[in-house]
Amino acid sequence: MRVALVIRRPAWFPCAQSVIDDVFFPVRTHGVRHSRYSILAVAGMVALAACTPHDGTNEFNDPYEARNRAVHDFNKDVDRGIVRPLASGYGRAVPGPLREGIGNFAGNLSLPGKMANSLLQLRPGDAVENGVRFLVNTTIGIGGLFDPATRMGAPEVETDFGETLHVWGFPEGAYVELPFLGPSTERDTVGLIVDMALDPLGSALGPDERWIGRGTSVGAGLNKRFTYSGTIDEVLYDSADSYAQLRIGYLQKRRHELGRDAMPDYFDPYDDPYATPYADAYATPLEATDAQ
């Protein structure tokens, strides 16, 4: 209730601190860790207010390109030297069903944080779906190792604090590539920090359990790197400009996620202004090549 009131206020920057304190940290069990993150988060939010608004689907705003490219080269070295060999070893050594179980387990632990974000976005239906999922998979799915909830019609609703900021009306900000973490935007970077601080389940667990959570999410990440190695390798190592490919890929995917089912502003190549001199693609010179 209090959350809803805060969000509806038009001038809500002064409220940012109280939103963070009241909603995310009602119980200060790990005061030091939390307050450090909350200061970072608020600093990030203030920085976001200065971001230029941006709505285009295929456009990008990349004022930090030079620095981003340096980080990109670093990330590629990390992938080549550490992540890719590790993922390949993990994928070959650990049998598929076990990797899947570890991925399910890590995904299950992330659900309480997603529920909190859905509530902050005033999407109670999403929160309930992930809540049902969490209950079903934790019990019937044996602590989250199995995923019966998807078969029962409650697939995971993907969300995070970056989306919450989007719902609250914050602009995307500039594109950034983060060391180790990869492509992001200014808004999603703030979201990432808040999500780390938010982690309601992590706060409820003891330090040992938290390490299990982190270990399994590393496993889940390695499994993703292994499963999608074809596409990831192609983007990183086979494209002419891997930085530009990753940037356009990330931004399109992210905007698509945030837009939910909204009809995007599709580009019509048949009306392409660059193509006017050759308006008829089927004119004589191309006819021969088109014939199958």
Partner 1 sequence: MRSDATRRHFLMSGLAAGAALTVAPPARALTTPEATALIDQVVADINAVINSGRSEARMLQEFERIFVRYSDVPIIARSALGVAARSASPAQLSAFTTAFRGYISRKYGRRFREFIGGSLKVEQARPYKNFHEVKTTAYLRGEAPIEVIFLVSDRSGRDLFFNVFIEGVNMLASERTEIGAMLDQRQGDLDRLIADLQRAG
Positions touching partner 1 (CB under 8 A) are 58, 96, 100, 103, 150, 155-156, 158, 227-228, 230-231, 234, 239-241, 244-245, 248-249, 252-257, 263-264, 266-270, 272, 274-275, 277-278, 281-286, 288-290, 292
Nearer to partner 1 by C-beta: 119 or 244?
244
| CB nearer to partner 1: pick between 122 and 235 | 235
Comparing CB distances to partner 1, the nearer of 26 and 274 is 274
CB of 43 to partner 1, least distance (A): 30
CB of 212 to partner 1, least distance (A): 21
Least distance from partner 1 to the Cβ atom of residue 203, Å: 26
DSSP codes joined into one string, 112-158: HHHHHHHHHTT-HHHHHHHHHHHHHHHHTTTTTTS-HHHHTT-----
Q: How far apart are CA 174 and CA 52, in angstroms?
A: 8
Q: Which of 113, 138, 108, 135 is nearest to 203 (CA)?
A: 113
Nearest CB to partner 1, comparing residues 41 and 172:
172
State in angstroms the smallest separation of the CB of 149 from partner 1.
12
Q: How far is the CB of 248 from partner 1 (least distance, A)?
A: 5
- Taking CA atoms, 105 is separated from 1, 82, 142, 180, in Å, by 32, 24, 9, 23
Q: Please say which residue, 35 or 131, places its beta carbon nearer to partner 1.
A: 131
**Which residues are registered as beta bridge partners of 183?**
177
Task: Give the Cβ contact number of residue 207 at 10 Å.
Answer: 8
By C-beta, is 5 or 288 nearer to partner 1?
288
Residue 145 neighbours by CB distance under 10 Å:
18
- Look up residue 212 and give its two tokens: 């299990």
The DSSP 8-state label assigned to residue 63 in this structure reads: T
Q: Which helix (H) or strand (E) holds 92?
A: helix 84-93
Matching residue, tokens 């299990």: 212
In the complex, minimum distance from the CB of residue 73 to partner 1, in angstroms, rounded to a whole number = 15
